Structure 1
Amino acid sequence: MQNMTTLIPLILMFVLFYFLLIRPQQKRQKSVRQMQSDLKKGDKIVTIGGLHGFIDSIDESKVVIKCGDGSRLTYDRNAIREVTESSKTAEV
């Protein structure tokens, strides 16, 4: 019985740790992977370095971003932080 009273707080701490830290992080990683796999030409994006631009072309691992001055920069697909406007919205 003494061992159970010592073990219960440890188990509760692990469960609390899982639901407050591990699970939300896994959800964020899943949503980022989904966003990066759904990228398409014409999407307005922001990179992890803060560069704003439009996707000019895309392949499996690289993205060519067209900047405001017309220059084209090549980035890894993983460097895209967020899509601020999808190409569907941009066309409308």
Structure 2
Amino acid sequence: MHLILAQASSGGGYMQFVMLGGMILIFWLFFIRPQQKKQKEQRKFIDEIKKGDTVVTTGGIHGKIAAVEDDTVVLEVDKGLKIKFEKAAISLDASKKYATPTAAAS
């Protein structure tokens, strides 16, 4: 009788390991992978910023890129008013939303 219980409990440990592996896989598919993809898109967007692009900063400031330096950009927010920002402060999502209505109106 004890032998049967010992075998049943060892099989249960294997199933717990499989279930844990399944949960890790689901967590990776639904949380980690999409976040990595979004970060990759953000890096690509920042690397491809060029003079004349219309963007929005993470602080909500809208403007046009006047100059691009190593890690910074100069943003023209009004005629003659320019502000220097880190490239990382440019928001991909907000810039897409900001640029979409303008492109559709043209």
Which TM bucket (shorter chain)?
0.7 to 0.9
Residue identity in the other structure for 2:36: Q
* SS, match of residue 67 in structure 1: strand
Per residue, is there more helix in 1 or in 2? 2
CA shift, 1:72, in A, is: 0.3
Match of 1:41 among 44, 48, 51: 51
Q: TM-score, normalised by structure 2?
A: 0.76
* SS, match of residue 85 in structure 2: strand
Q: TM-score, normalised by structure 1?
A: 0.87
Per residue, is there more strand in 1 or in 2? 1
User: Which structure is larger by alpha-carbon Rg, 1 or 2?
Assistant: 2
Match of 1:21 among 9, 31, 38: 31
In structure 2, the partner of 1:55 is 65
In structure 2, the partner of 1:2 is 12
Identity %: 32
Which one scores higher on RCO, CA 8 angstroms, separation ≥ 6? 1
Unaligned runs of 5+ in 1: none
Unaligned runs of 5+ in 2: 1-10
